[in-house]
Structure 1
């Protein structure tokens, strides 16, 4: 069943599929507490719920919240969907698994906060506007043995993600990679990305990575 995607809500794409594959690799006991941050249409939250997880999904977009709630209702899956900015709606809670497909595309005019649909992909001049906050805040919400799975572009510096997460005491590594052709957003800013030195002159595809980080027991 394909999820309903409202206008302005991020539709499941290659990064969603790559993260879903990483999710399928995780042993998820029934009743495990799962958090999907930046849920969009709720595709990953629904997949975790199908596996028996107790899922909370969060998105800053009210349209995304509506879409995720509708998709959970249509699939008859008990997903709790909350409106809010990243981890704010779940402060004081803890999770066995945190999933996130955050904005990660480097964007011109880095001093301005992204607005509208662009909030789903624009992430400042280095692509780290949201990623750095996830690296700081997610470890505090993990239970011992808990896992964070985050997908982003190689353009937004996976080594920095690994370093930040390891500095908090997590064991972190890149577990999945996939090269994909440029989508509309990347094509629209190819020249700027080359000017910034983020793309070489002959690059015409993007590498996606999944970082897995685990809090030792």
Structure 2
């Protein structure tokens, strides 16, 4: 796992990866700002509709909870979408740089197949997190319970997404990641999404790590 992480940072030296990184960062910032503006208007409408805009303790607590949870979920959805948009470009560049023997046999999925997998991933992330929303809210009073639950659920989902990208190209026998390394990869990626500035690099670094885990056979932690 550590080797895969170090190699993923080394991948950033490749001009193709650097170009993708710039696109990912710009698109992430623009998308999240747009979603943030939309969320602000939605919250104002919601509080007016339910008459909880009294400035009291409970309305304030509810505002903080909604902003934190929605922000984390929206960023997660933005990251999923952007990762799928640039996944093939990232895989091409990393495999050409480190694993040309695998690049020669990998089959890039069609545009339609990529869109279908991306939509399934986005629906899966939104669905599971919305189902877990009551749990997130309930665990807010524990201090750390919500963060732990969010990390675990989204780590499982992110690990699966990254594995699916490689299976789509190399098949299950050559693209699958062992369960524990896949979970650790998902945890690192999901935790990275919660760190300002680092979260902008997650789509590229997590995808590169998945490639190194599969092709370098790095299943150690």
TM-score (norm 2): 0.27
Which is bigger in relative contact order (C-alpha 8 A, separation at least 6)?
Answer: 2
- Would you tell me which structure has more helix in proportion to its own residues? 2
When normalised by structure 1's length, the TM-score is 0.27
Q: Looking at secondary structure, tell me which structure has more strand per residue.
A: 1
